[in-house]
Amino acid sequence: MAAKDYYAILGVSRDADDATLKKAYRNLARAYHPDRNPGDKKAEERFKEVSEAYGVLADPEKRAQYDRFGTVGGTGDVGFGTIFEDLFEGFFGGGERGRGRGRVRRGDDLRYDLEITLEEAAAGMETKLQVPRLEACETCQGSGVQPGGHVEICASCRGQGQVRFTQGFLTVARPCPNCRGEGRIVRHPCTGCRGQGRVSRERLLKVTIPAGVENGNQLRLSGEGEGGPQGGPAGDLYVVLHVKAHEIFVRDGAHLVCELPLTFPQVALGDEIEVPVLDGTAKLKVPAGTQPGQRLVLRGKGMPHLRGRGRGDAVYEVVVEVPTDLTARQRELLEEFRRSHEGGSNPRVSKFLERMKQLFGS
Ligand SMILES: [Zn+2]
Ligand SMILES: [Zn+2]
């Protein structure tokens, strides 16, 4: 195997300094990066070659050895991954929006608002969402280039996507007018997407909503957002859950609370009644002497815990209903009930009246 001319590969002179090497490598690596040339074997080869050349020349020891012997012992692994990450730090994976184009950018995140019932939140569910989004074009894998087509690195900006010019003391960077900031010129735009790299698609996505979710909870569907421009990675889809108000129950964490209207005889004498639960009805014992506002509880009849086991409780807040439309017979019975009370009134009221008499001596 003939020794490679690393200087020629990077297109620099033999006395190029570090800055020149770095710049040359950056431009070439960007142009030949596999993400920007999907499926292009030649570009991939070039990318490896360029990375290897830079890996050697950027290391003073290896460069000296290479200059003397025209080869470097134990090549192969030049740790290009690290070098690449080094140079392009913060370059991939989004967060670089608007800082010049011609860079690999992540697609936008999408939000989908989904309304569900309390019953669905309790049971969990599987559903399908119809999501319109931009996706990487299948024909060109998002590159915008017709398969087998030709891409040139823009000569005006040498692939940078920006041109700089000086105005007084200021150096201003502007998107390159020749390539419209792309850093490249596509000679054969993809016909599937008219060179855009992305196409509008409507997808039916299956989501599984775990039992116990609450209003405002979000589910993240990784990579189901919009495709990145020029074949960049897709963003995420966030499903925001809205749990509809229930006609009976109000949620309190994992507990379900509702009002329970009872008659005076029911709370006074006790009763066993049917009460609503989320999935039907259940039997509830009302002890004799139950007070207004007292909470009667059915353990484990509430919402399931989202993380963890078991369920909360169903809680019934007692409201004592006072009848306003007594029949003659009912009135008679109540009168009799009143007469049956010693003194005719509540002992607390009698005590209070007695104290008042002591104080004011009437
Ligand atoms: Zn395309
Ligand atoms: Zn340009």
Flag whether the pTM goes above 0.95: no
**Separation of CA 38 and ligand 1 centre (Å):** 12
**Separation of CA 123 and ligand 2 centre (Å):** 56
**Separation of CA 163 and ligand 2 centre (Å):** 7
**Separation of CA 103 and ligand 2 centre (Å):** 13
CA atoms 130, 132, 136, 137: torsion sign: positive
**Closest ligand, as measured to the CA of 195:** 1
**What are the helix and strand counts (H, E) for the chain?**
9, 15
* Under 8 Å between Cβ of 269 and 143: no
- Angle, CA of 184, 187 and 193, to the nearest 5°: 90
Residues facing residue 206 across a β-bridge: 128
Q: Give me the pLDDT at residue 342, please.
A: 58
Q: Give me the pLDDT at residue 184, please.
A: 84
Q: Give me the pLDDT at residue 278, please.
A: 92
Backbone angles phi, psi at 43, to 5 degrees: -65, -40
Encoded amino acid at 103, one letter: R
**Separation of CA 101 and ligand 1 centre (Å):** 18
CB atoms within 10 A of CB 16: 16
**Separation of CA 124 and ligand 2 centre (Å):** 53
Q: Could you list the mean pLDDT of each consecutive 10-residue stretch along the chain, which spans 362 residues?
A: 77 88 87 80 85 86 80 46 36 37 76 96 95 92 86 87 81 86 86 90 94 94 91 92 95 96 94 95 96 96 91 97 93 89 68 84 65
Residues facing residue 151 across a β-bridge: 186
**Closest ligand, as measured to the CA of 159:** 2
Separation of alpha carbons 278 and 254, rounded Å: 13
**Separation of CA 191 and ligand 2 centre (Å):** 23
Three-class DSSP labels, 44-112 = HHHHHHHHHHHHHHCCHHHHHHHHHHCCCCCCCCCCHHHHHHHHCCCCCCCCCCCCCCCCCCCCCCEEE
State pLDDT tens for residues 301-316.
Answer: 999 998 888 999 999 9
Q: Give me the pLDDT at residue 358, please.
A: 85
**Closest ligand, as measured to the CA of 143:** 1
Q: Give me the pLDDT at residue 14, please.
A: 87
